Amino acid sequence: MRITNRGTDGRIRSIRYDNIERAHDTSEYRCWTMARNRCRNPRADQYAAYGGRGITFCPVFDDFKAFLFEVGPRPSMKHSIERIDNARGYEPGNIRWATHTEQCNNRRSNRLIEFGGKTRTMAEWGRITGIGWANIQYRLSVGWTVGEALTTPTRLHK
């Protein structure tokens, strides 16, 4: 059986299952189950951070096939399900597969910095500039401008 759908982002997704009833053996199914559980089950380990703070799991996705149509096949085992906007729940248009690094850039606790017309997290600016995020954070905390913090090279220690 082949499941094909055009997602909310316009991409065509196609997943082949020899037997859709065996879908529970897939990593996509396990991700779907865990997401539902952390939003709806007060006894789940992560419930307080999800369902306990109002993050919902859309009833449309109670059907695993609808969920699979939305996100498509899992690109790799390094990807897990992510909400694009952390203030919203697991709903159409707000979920995707993302790597750990991509998910870290989407945390509520991140400090966003705007420079040169672009807004990025400190960790992203650190990767772009080669200046560690902790160094950027320190520079800003002692009064450096964003431009100085991101463009002044660090001293080399020998």
The three-class DSSP label of residue 42 is coil
Dig out the tokens for 77 from the structure.
């085992």
What's the CA gap between 16 and 92, in Å, rounded? 21
pTM of the model: 0.67
Give Cα separations from 69 to 1, 2, 75, 107 (angstroms): 14, 11, 14, 25
List the pLDDT tens digit at each of the 158 positions of the chain: 555 555 555 665 555 555 555 667 788 999 999 999 999 999 999 999 999 999 999 999 999 888 988 888 888 899 999 999 888 999 999 999 999 888 887 777 788 899 999 999 888 899 899 998 899 999 999 999 999 999 998 876 44
What's the CA gap between 92 and 70, in Å, rounded? 7
* Contact predicate 150/131, CB 8 Å: yes
- Beta 79-83 vs 2-6: how paired, if at all? unpaired
* Contact predicate 66/36, CB 8 Å: no
**Could you state, in order of their start, the residue ranges of all structural domains in the chain?**
2-104, 112-151
